[in-house]
Amino acid sequence: MQPHDLIAASPNAVARNIGGETVLLHLDSGTYFGLNGVGSFIWSRIEKEPHSLAALADAVEAEFDVTRDEALKDITALAQNLDEQGLLKDN
Amino acid sequence: MPCAPYDRWVSDDGDANAEFYRTDSGYLMRFPDQADFAIPTGLQGADCFPVSGMTADALRTLFTNSVRPAVGNHIGELNLHGSGVVIGDKAVAIMGQSRRGKTTLAGAFAKAGHPFLTEDVLALDQQNGAYTVDPQLPVLRVFGDSAAYLLDAAPEEHCADTKSALAANATLPAAEEAAPLAAICVLGPGEASEVTLSTLGRAAALSEIMRHGFLLDVEDKARLHAHFARVAQLAAAVPCLSLDYPREFSKLPDVIRAVQRHLEQI
């Protein structure tokens, strides 16, 4: 995945924020996926509309104590993981 | 009827405990070598087709512990797989994978004077964010070694490989009324060398509790979504504890004391 790639939540995923974390349920497979605080922050954005990885890294840098490079690296890994689980909308 | 089921409940050994089929008139739940239950689309009742030799008690258990809760969840109830007991005036739910000792632990609580509410189905009612657990059949079905422990009998008096149905009595009391749910205990694999009890985070609790639902139609996304929402509400409202202990009968009194102590702090 590249920084300019857009990602959005799959319509087949439902989420519940609970105790500061987010649990995702994939409605097709019935599997669950947990997100920590930063992951929840990202999910809350891509649930509403598509965002580029770069824009998400900017938002995470502004909100959390992390450098932009670190944020971009972590977000890219998270996005790949979500994609593998079928939790991102197909492009 | 389609030849392939759309869902299965599978035991730890890989055997199908139940298979789910779509039919022209609704659903069919098949319990291999036991019975079929045909459930009409409107969910009004179920027709039972037992295999030869099944007893009325066994069929009633299948219906009460599997068919009824699955249909109930389909129409918006919250039924979860697990046992439950009453400590003082509060209910404690016990969940865990099959063969982790849910019923034996419920029986141990009962033996210690804390009545059991259910051995297999946690039927929850929710009002204003608080949950109660309804009593179910006053019977504990356990394997021979557990039966011997709960009845203070010699192990050879009970067959080790088959389950005995122990009816509630003065020494194994069953609760007759619903009780407010104070905590959910999720049983670990029995790898702990001593009793361990720790609080699960809400998100972890949600994932854990979701494993123990009864779903009639896993392909019905709207209902799956609604069930997820109900379980999320439960996980947010009721403390969920991770409980593990060596699976030795001699440790059960320690488990009971640990849960009691924790409950006093809630």
pLDDT per position as a tens digit, A79-89? 999 999 999 99
* The pLDDT of residue A43: 96
Domains of chain A and CATH, by start = 8-84 (1.10.10)
Q: Which amino acid is at B243?
A: L
pLDDT digits (tens, 9 = 90+) for A52-78: 999 999 999 999 999 999 999 999 999
Q: How confident is the model at residue B43 (pLDDT cuts 50, 70, 90)?
A: confident
Is A27–B206 a contact, with Cβ atoms under 8 angstroms apart? no
Say how far residue A74 (Cα) sits from the centre of its chain. 10
Q: Which of B202, B218, B235 sits opposite A30 (nearest CB)?
A: B218
Question: B67 in a domain, yes or no?
Answer: no
Judged against a pLDDT cut of 80, whether residue B65 lies above it is answered with: yes
B39 and B84 within one domain: no
Which domain does B43 fall in, by range?
7-54
List of chain A residues whose C-beta atoms are within 8 Å of the C-beta of residue B206 = 16, 18, 23, 32
Chain B residue with CA closest to A40: the answer is B203
Give dist(CA B195, CA B203) in Å, integer.
24
Provide the whole-model pTM. 0.88
B253 and B164 within one domain: yes
* The pLDDT of residue B99: 87
Question: B249 in a domain, yes or no?
Answer: yes
Is B225–A27 a contact, with Cβ atoms under 8 angstroms apart? yes
Question: B206 in a domain, yes or no?
Answer: yes
Contacts for B22 with CB less than 8 Å, ≥ 6 apart: B1, B2, B6, B28
The residue of B10, B221, B233, B240 whose CB has the most chain A CBs within 10 angstroms, and thus the best one to mutate to test that interface, is B221
Is B201–A21 a contact, with Cβ atoms under 8 angstroms apart? yes
